Amino acid sequence: MTEPNQPSIAAFPSPDGLSRLLLQVAAGDRRAFTATYQEAAPQLFALALRMMKQRDLAEEVLQEVFVSIWVKAGRFDPGKGSALAWMAAILRNRCLDRLRTRRPESSIADEDAAEWTDPAPGPLDRALRSAEGRAIWRCLDRLEPGPRNAILRVYYEGLTHAELADRATIPLGTIKSWIRRGLTRLKSCLDE
């Protein structure tokens, strides 16, 4: 096994391609598993880094998640969203479990606060591969900056309401109501 190449945007398989790979993984196909890793790991690793804020922890989580994907691939249902989203759900659960027991005292977030202030990737980074990916940004763009950034920071950094309130020095009540209202509007926009 050579080190997986970073997939270029163009080389990234269609969402359907990744779903097909995952179904082959469910059947025990090791080559499909290798391909799944090559295609999805860089994206998932990026998310793990954002959430865990420590490289070694992010690597551990990624490893656990792919072992879990190998075992659980049979539970993936292509009718219920993209393969990448399914894998991201597993990864986020694992990260949140870890963060529950261990929130690093001095995190990158605190040191490089500026870097995390606007978690929304720039338009050029929005290499959105699926219709769902495009839809959520379209709907997020309709929200006011407060609710939008609150939702994005909580999602990407694995923060609780209180942690975000602390870091953004915004009252907890405001954060809660931003997120609640934001999610309601997001839902009605996405379900349109």
Which chain residues interact with another protein by CB under 8 A? 1, 3-4, 6-7, 28, 30, 33, 37, 41-47, 49-50, 59, 62-63, 66-67, 70-71, 80-82, 84-86, 88-89, 92, 96, 100, 120-121, 125-130, 132-133, 135-137, 151-152, 154-156, 158-161, 179-180, 183, 186-187, 190
From 159, 146, 128, 124, select the one nearest 53 (Cα to Cα). Answer: 159
Residue closer to another protein by CB (options 106, 161) is 161
CB of residue 49 vs another protein: minimum separation in angstroms?
Answer: 6
Long-range contacts of 103-107 (CB under 8 A, 24+ apart): 103/163, 104/53, 104/54, 107/53, 107/54
CB of residue 91 vs another protein: minimum separation in angstroms?
Answer: 8
| Rounded-to-integer distance, Cα 181 and Cα 161, Å | 14
Q: How far is CA 9 from CA 32, 127, 129, in A?
A: 20, 7, 8
Residue closer to another protein by CB (options 72, 113) is 72
CB of residue 189 vs another protein: minimum separation in angstroms?
Answer: 10
Q: Greatest CA span in the chain, whole angstroms?
A: 51
Residue closer to another protein by CB (options 56, 169) is 56
CB of residue 114 vs another protein: minimum separation in angstroms?
Answer: 17
From 85, 40, 91, 83, select the one nearest 62 (Cα to Cα). Answer: 91
